[in-house]
Structure 1
Amino acid sequence: MKIVDLTHFISEDMPVYPGTEGPKFTPANSYEVDGFKETLMTMYTHTGTHMDPPAHLFAGRTTLDQFPVSQFAGVACVIDCSDLQEGQQITMDYVNRQREAAEKAEFLLFSTGWEEYWGTERYFGDYPCIDQEVADFLIQEGKKGIGLDTIGLDPIADTNLTLHKKLFRDSEIVIIENLENLKELRGQSFTFCGLPLKHKDADGSPIRAIALLEV
């Protein structure tokens, strides 16, 4: 079995969504004073490679801890849309190129190539986003999740989070943002696993996302 890590490192200088404070790592105990090392880690629930549930936007909807653990693993396929330019949309044409795999998959992961800009200002630019028809497909097919190698599902300028709201209003789906290494998996199907932290009333959580491939 081959395992591909799909998760960005968490660090104090990592990219975070505009207006959000970055993570902090504060020494709490040291070898010299306490005989062991421990660090106080402070960060938002939507830091780095992370997962959003419906409760992220809608009160009373499903939080991550209310999902069964099976929600976070399943068959995934990576849709290659790396030829898209800034501001262009991911349409059903891209899904239809891998239609059979997309219908079988529980997670659709979209490789835009934007992971190459992680750590630069361009990462916060006009990255490609799915269109309304793709969102409808995800809802109608009852997918467990959608994942992207960008900082958001919605365009950076859409403060209304229109696509988030559409998916969360009409389905029990999770949204995974800031994936990496999808470029290694374009056109492939595999077992995806992205486990959030298990904490109460989770409106989101960093995850360790991996792809498991049979070799």
Structure 2
Amino acid sequence: MCHACVIENVKQGLLSRRGLFRSAAALGLATGAAGLMSARPAMAQASKVVDLTHAYDGAFPTFDGKPGIIYEPAVKFADAGYQLWKLTIFEHTGTHIDAPLHFSEDGASVAELPVESLVCPLCIVDIKAKAAEDANAMVEPADLEAWVSANGEIPAGACVAMNSGWGAKVGDPLYRNTPDGKFAFPGFSKAATDMLAGMEVACIGVDTLSLDPGNSADFVVHFSWLPGGRYGIENLANLEGLPASGATVMVGAPKHAGGTGGPARVLALV
């Protein structure tokens, strides 16, 4: 059966049933509203939701410089009355997750991440001052110790995110490179991630292209952090203005079997 015929049949079926559903819908809305009211206390501590995700297209900066997503029209509205894209997406583009499998032969895939690890206390370590002086600045143990001194212990299961101020550079070539074409952006040091691993932190996040700084030659943070069963988030947005502690992050991880990572919708509840 042609797509147009299917759509027309669906439209007619919906129209014929609209009257039947109208009274049921009224009852359903009342019941749903009551359910939402009863559920609301679970979210009472969050006064706002902040999107930590960049919208991205083929122009968004990538590590290898190639477009991370390609759009092809699969169905056009003018032809069929609806529209959809065929997307070719590389896993590690935009705001995305690095799963353990990304840097290990047999680590957990993105589909196998425990759901409990995707809802985390959010701890934001601000290194903007260092990053303004050194494009390859790193979160070091001293930065974590200063955070603990100011905010208390980093809880097990937390997401520890670096705020280097780099998110504001998206769209500028300096987000990825120095003017002479060398990789340059902040990241974590292995000494810091080893410290966080000992605290049983669930994940680390960066507002840059990589968990390792741009001048890394060995990707030591990737090779040490991810195979330990933990994950990372790269290209976070909108960390500026969030509190150093007290927010909760919800990581909308993709769930394709065998995935080494993938684009994610990341939200902070404050």
TM-score in same-fold range (> 0.5): yes
Gaps of 5+ in 1: none
Structure 2 equivalent of residue 12 of structure 1:
58
Q: 1:58 aligns with which of 104, 119, 122?
A: 104
Partner of 2:89: 43
Q: Does 1:204 align with 2:253?
A: no
Q: Does 1:70 align with 2:128?
A: no
Higher relative contact order (CA 8 A, sep 6+): 1
Q: Is 1:103–1:141's contact at 8 Å kept on the other side of the alignment?
A: yes
Pick from 125, 129, 139 the counterpart of residue 187 of structure 2.
129
What amino acid maps onto 2:71 in structure 1?
A: F
Bigger helix fraction: 2
Aligned to 1:93: 142
Partner of 1:187: 244
For the 8 Å contact 1:95–1:102, the answer to whether it is kept is no
- CA change 1:159–1:204 in 2 (3 A) is farther
CA distance in 1, matches of 2:99, 2:77: 39
Pick the aligned partner of 1:155 from 213, 230, 252: 213
Q: What is the total number of aligned residue pairs between the two structures?
A: 212
Q: Which residue of 1 aligns with 2:34?
A: none
**Secondary structure of 2:232 counterpart:** strand
Name the larger-Rg structure. Answer: 2
Q: Equivalents in 1 of 2:110, 2:49: separation in Å?
A: 24
Which letter maps to 1:40? K
Retained in 1: the 8 A contact 2:190–2:220? Answer: no
Question: Offset at 1:19?
Answer: 4.4
| Mapped partners of 1:16, 1:155: distance in 2 | 14
Matched, 1:116 2:168: yes
Compute the TM-score of the two structures, normalised by the length of structure 1: 0.92
> 1:157 and 1:88, CA in 2 relative to 1: closer, same or farther beyond 3 A?
closer
CA-to-partner distance for each residue in 1:79-125, whole Å, 9 max, x for gaps? 11111122332212221222144522611011000111111111113
**RMSD between aligned residues:** 1.6
Query: Which residue identity does 2:235 align to in structure 1?
Result: N
Q: Partners of 1:73 and 1:115 in 2: how far apart?
A: 22
SS at match of 1:185: coil
Q: Which has the higher strand share?
A: 1
Measure the CA separation in 2 of the matches of 1:178 and 1:81: 16
- Tell me the TM-score normalised to structure 2 length: 0.74
Shift of 1:155: 2.5
Higher mean C-alpha displacement, 123-132 vs 112-121? 123-132
**More deviation, 128-137/56-65:** 128-137
Q: Which runs of 5+ in 2 are unaligned?
A: 1-46, 178-183
Contact 1:74 1:107 in 2 (8 A): yes
Amino acid at match of 1:81: I
Shift of 1:56: 0.3
